[in-house]
Structures are given as structure tokens and as C-alpha cells.
Amino acid sequence: MTLQVLSDQGERSTVLEALEHALAAGAVVAVITPQERAALRPVLEADLPLDLQGPALVLGSGGSRGGRQWCLQPLAQLRLAAEATAQWLEAIGLDPSQCELFDPLPLHHISGVMPWVRARQWGAALRCLSPERMRDPVRLAQQEPVAADRAALLSVVPTQLERLLGHPEGVRWLQGFALVWVGGAALNDSQAQRCREWGIRLAPCYGSTETAAMVTALPPDQFLCGVAGCGHPLPHAELRLDPSTSGLKVRSASLALARFQVDRWQPLPLDQGWWSSGDRAELTRDGLQVLGRLDGAIHSGGETVFPDQVEAQVLLLCESQGLPVEELLLLPEPDPLWGERLAALVRPLDGAPFSALEPQLQHLAQQLPPAQRPRRWLECPALQRNAMGKWERQHWHQWLSLLEAI
């Protein structure tokens, strides 16, 4: 069995037709961006796992902290995950076969390919949306109307959701969906509040490439009633916490068969079937509450600080005070006294002058505990998240290092 490569570029229908043909022939297919061909070379040269049976997909995972990783997901396990999602839909009163799935996410990510797998599995309609169209809410609403005669299901990341919420046409378009799965990154309180006010039926969910996308989801009726978090496990998954770290562990029949490490495929590291996700979490009566990445925590002045949680808090403070901040990323830097301190990369909104914004941000940060206050604020006009709404923290660490070298 050999590994075929499929570039996620051009017309989505053409890419999906090629993927359908390859999987029907029993192939293992790596779906990548054209820029990833060089990074995939060691994968192409390695032998596939001996226990792989049947067609499979190779998809990239992570990238925010440990660099790009490759996961091997048998098609049978993706179908199992799709069946679990169908059971979840039936439990909240939706017939999967009568739904239409809207997919605006790239096929080289698990959250982009799973709507296609679900549609094939359920016999449901699928509508793929281009990134360009998602960035234009007026054109999107005009050219991709939500049909009234079937339940429409949408999968988005918070960045896409925010862009739609920022325009009346985008809000009205979202209001037409039976549910809107949102995952890939943290949903902030402001987004949740606006969606509840406008009756948008969000279904926050949790998953990863290693789990074949969703393993939990919050029903939209519960979301609209004010329940927070990502809901309870889907029928194919179990969750538990590491008692020493509150790290989230997942056990599921949809866990990836292998992950590529250095020069070979290695089985996913499991402890009696449990996979450690790297996320810190709580399990409450309302379901999963994700608190941040364990591997992203820093130690500053004797305190444990989670930069992504501080980012969310600072953005809420900026919004409450009307500060023109479009994006914010906090990165740790060595400090001889504190051990580590945070540096803040900022992209101002609509070209707002950073010279006026910086002292306002410094004043705002006084509301935070000392260990959470950035020691410096840096303007970064190019600052943006990846296609899944996540930070490529390694890339921005390099940007910060190059800035220091100038």
C-alpha cells in the first residue's frame, strides 16, 4: 500500500472527486497544501503501519506549539465518528439524512474533510464554501442562501464566526441554521453573548485530528439557555481528567491509528486506551470546560500563567473600553527575575495609531495580576491566525526573535 498526495487547491468539487476516487480504490491519501510538500517528504519515504487495513487519510495536526504533525486516520474510523455525530443529531431531534451540511473549512484539516465524510455516510446534501466567499458576508448571504425546507448545519471556527457576526447580513445568514458547530479554538464570551442575543443556534464542540474531529458537542437549545462549555461526549467517546494536572484524556474508537514521529509512523501514545490531549479541562454537570493548553503554561514569578486565557481576558477588557485591537497574541520571554514574562503582539483595528494605543493597553493591564501583565507591547501589522483560527505560536516566536536581532 502506497501513500498518494492530494493538494487542497483549486475547485473544491474537483479535489473531492479525486479524493473519492482514491479512497474507493483503497488508497492512503495525504491531503495537504502545496506549501507542505517539502515537509511531507519524510512521510512519503516511510513504510506505512503494518496494521493499517483499508483506505485512510493523512492529515496535518497541531502546529501551534510543537510544529506540524501528521496523523493517520483510517476511513473506517472517520465513518464511525460520523455515525456518532448522526446519533447525537437524532437525540436532539434532527434527521441526518434530511440535513444539508455547509463546509467552509479547508480539506487539509480534519474539520474540513469530516462534513464530506458525514454527508456521504448519511446521504445528506453538502455545500462547500470558499474562503473568499466567507470573508464577504453580503455576497455569502446572497449567493449561498440557507434553504427553509431542510435543516442546515454549519461548521466554523471562531475567526469565521466573528467575521459573520460583524455584519448584519452575516448575522441573518447564521440565524437560518438549525445549528452552527464551532470549534478549533476557544469561543470567547463576547461571541457567545451576541449569538444568544440574536438567537444563533451555536453548538460549541471539542475535538482534534487525533480524535477524528468532534468527541463532544453542546446542543444548541442548551447553549441558548446560557450553558457554557463544549457539552458531553458523543456516543463513541469517553472523557476523564488526569488527577495531578487536570489534563484531558480521551478514549474513543476514532482515535488515530498512528502519528508520524521523526522518520516513522508510531502508534498514538495511549494509557490503557486513553489519549492525553494536552488540554487542561474541567468536567462539570454541563459537560466539558476547556481551560487552556498544558504545554502552553509558563511560570512567572512563582505563578503558573496560561497565555491563551490571559489573551481572552485582555481582549474582553479592550472591548469593554472600546480600544481598537483587532488581534492580540501573548508570547513568553525569558526574564532573569521572573523566570518568564509575557510579550504582547498587537494588530490595531483599521490602522489605529499604535503610539496612542500602547499607553492605553499598559494602563488596562494594571487590572491583571502582576504575573499576567505583559512587560512590553509590540505592534505587529501582519499578525493573524491560521485557517483554523489557531495561533501558529512557533511562527510568531520566530517573528519575535527576528525583531530582537534587528
User: How far apart, in Å, are the Cα atoms of 70 and each of 18, 40, 376, 380?
Assistant: 21, 9, 35, 30
Cell numbers that stand for 151 in this block = 435543516
Q: Are 386 and 63 in contact (CB under 8 A)?
A: yes
Q: What is the mean pLDDT of residues 254-281?
A: 94
Instruction: Return d(Cα 334, Cα 340) in angstroms, integer.
Output: 5
What band does 289 get if pLDDT is binned at 50, 70 and 90? very high
DSSP assignment letter at 296:
G
Q: What is the mean pLDDT of residues 299-318?
A: 85
Residue 76, helix vs strand vs coil: helix
Q: Which domains does the chain have, with CATH numbers?
A: 3-294 (3.40.50.12780), 297-405 (3.30.300.30)
Q: 296 or 377: which carries more pLDDT confidence?
A: 377
Name 290's bridge partners. Answer: 281
Q: 219 or 185: which carries more pLDDT confidence?
A: 219
Q: Say yes or no to pLDDT of 63 above 70.
A: no
pLDDT of residue 405: 65
pLDDT of residue 404: 73
Output the average pLDDT for the chain: 92
Which tens digits make up the pLDDT trace of 358-400? Answer: 999 999 999 988 889 999 999 999 999 887 788 888 899 999 9
For the question of whether the overall pTM of this predicted structure is more than 0.85, the answer is: no
What band does 65 get if pLDDT is binned at 50, 70 and 90? very low
Q: Say yes or no to pLDDT of 66 above 90.
A: no
Looking at the chain, the whole-number percentage of residues with pLDDT higher than 90 is: 73
Q: Say yes or no to pLDDT of 275 above 50.
A: yes
Q: Are 59 and 71 in contact (CB under 8 A)?
A: yes
